[in-house]
Amino acid sequence: MLPKQKVLWVEGMMMEPQHFQEQDRYFENLINKKDSIFAPYPWGFLQLEIDRALLEQNKLAIQKAKGVFPDGTPFDMPGHDPLPCPIDLKKEHQGEVVCLVLSLDILGNSYIDMDTEQNGNSRYVVIENEVVDRNHGMAQDGTPQSTHIQMATLNARLMLQKMITGSETVLPICRVREFSQDGHSIFLDENFLPPLLDFRAIGWLRSSIEEIIGIISSRLSYIGEDYFDQSIGNLSELLELLLLQIFNEYKLKLNHLISLPLVHPERIFFILLEMLGKISFVPGAEKFRGIGDIVYEHESLHVSFFNLFRSLRGALSLIIESPSVGLQFVDTGDGIYIHQNDPQLRVEKIIFAVSANMPSDKLKLIFPAQTKIGPADLISNLIELQLPGIRMIPLVTPPRYVPYYPSSVYFELDNQDDLYRKTLSSVSIAVSIVGDFPSLRFDVWGIRERRVK
């Protein structure tokens, strides 16, 4: 391994090219170490464009690339560094990963090709540039004072991943998905993600994040303030309020991130993973945390983000359904109350919470005797013929999933009663109450099928 220590400059020393080479290595190593401390994964592409036209000629070429190699070497092609030569691909290369590589600055590797030809495996090739003297400016004849200087520029190459020997620093750029039937065109795997320094470098990642923001916006529209019925206040609405807070928070965070000029994909990954964790309290969402290994892998971003997006889409698509739902009865006069049935609620049990200005024991005894419950179209017959309605069973304690009402007596409708099934399948439910119940109030709750054992 080549040394990377600081050069000791002293008066009278004989300077050799090695002094300046070592000084370069020292500063490069210093910068790379600082970058690795202050930022995770400080390497990848800031920009990557593949020449789509050459794919139809079985060639792969880069039109534009900007970023940092894993060894800390920055590149800007073709703005500052030359583009690598195209690589020819054949049908046997289907499924292969193509990489952008650069020889490492290690013993045994060719450091610079002095023949000014970009056809070797050296780390650098020589170019000659005319450089103007910025101190003295123009010569007496009005022309810039300049001289020609030999400079070194990166000699990056395209190479199949399976051909890499370990003496190169490597950035995967794409995977060959398949060839056309005539074998003259290449189709790339559009879901492949190379290591990135900015999530915008690849359109697939950018559009997927925008899709997630769009889903969040849709859910926010659905959970708007007009959605809530403050008179009910059931569990589903509490969960929706929590989701409203979470969605508002992460919509603001994501909109802020995508407005920044540079955002590392790990930062986006962390925010999305955090949101997935917070919405997993939704019933059914916990199963989406186990879809694949949701772990950030900078060298396999397509795997990391594919699993994360799949889990997020599943969790965000869930509709919160409370185990219980409030059933609203409308007073139609003469002590008759009507509720319009909704078969989509899938109610299996019906619970009454009744309160009045009388002792609870008395209320528990006389309320069922003076109340008839049945289908709205049959309630008149039940009253006129003095037929029994659905039997009301007193409960010792409030059942699970139903709110607690102070000084209330709870009843459950007998779901084994034939009239009960007929009532649930009817258009509406009617409750007829006779007698004197001072300050009477009753709240009715339906417990859904999946919560009934």
DSSP one-letter string for 87-121:
EE--GGGTTPEEEEEEE-SSTTS--EETT--TTS-
C-alpha to C-alpha distances, 206 to 49, 268, 428, nearest whole angstrom? 15, 10, 50
Rounded Cα distance between 111 and 119, Å, is 13
* Cα–Cα nearest to 236, from 318, 315, 352: 318
Rounded Cα distance between 313 and 32, Å, is 38
Q: By three-state DSSP, how is residue 60 classified?
A: strand
Determine the pLDDT at residue 346.
Answer: 81
Determine the pLDDT at residue 1.
Answer: 55
Tokens of 57: 């000629």
Which mean pLDDT values do the consecutive 10-residue runs of the chain (453 residues) have? 78 86 82 75 95 92 96 93 93 93 87 68 87 76 81 92 92 93 86 95 91 89 56 60 88 95 95 90 66 82 91 79 81 90 84 93 92 91 88 88 85 90 90 90 84 41
**CB burial readout 83-116, b (16+ within 10 A) else e:** bbeebebeeebeebbbbbbbbbbeeeeeeebeee
Task: Give me the residues paired with residue 330 across strands.
Answer: 338
Determine the pLDDT at residue 264.
Answer: 95
Residue type, 270: F
Rounded Cα distance between 85 and 74, Å, is 19
Rounded Cα distance between 69 and 229, Å, is 57
Rounded Cα distance between 151 and 128, Å, is 6
Provide the 10 A C-beta neighbour count for residue 201: 22
- pTM above threshold 0.95: no
Contact, 251 vs 223, CB < 8 A? no
Q: Is the sign of the CA dihedral 16, 22, 23, 25 positive or negative?
A: positive
Phi and psi, residue 408, nearest 5°: -105, 155
Q: Residues near 154 by Cβ (< 8 Å), separated by ≥ 6?
A: 73, 75, 81, 82, 102, 123, 124
Rounded Cα distance between 295 and 303, Å, is 9
The strand order across the sheet containing 62-68 reads: 44-50, 62-68, 74-77
Phi and psi, residue 170, nearest 5°: -130, 140
Contact, 26 vs 19, CB < 8 A? no
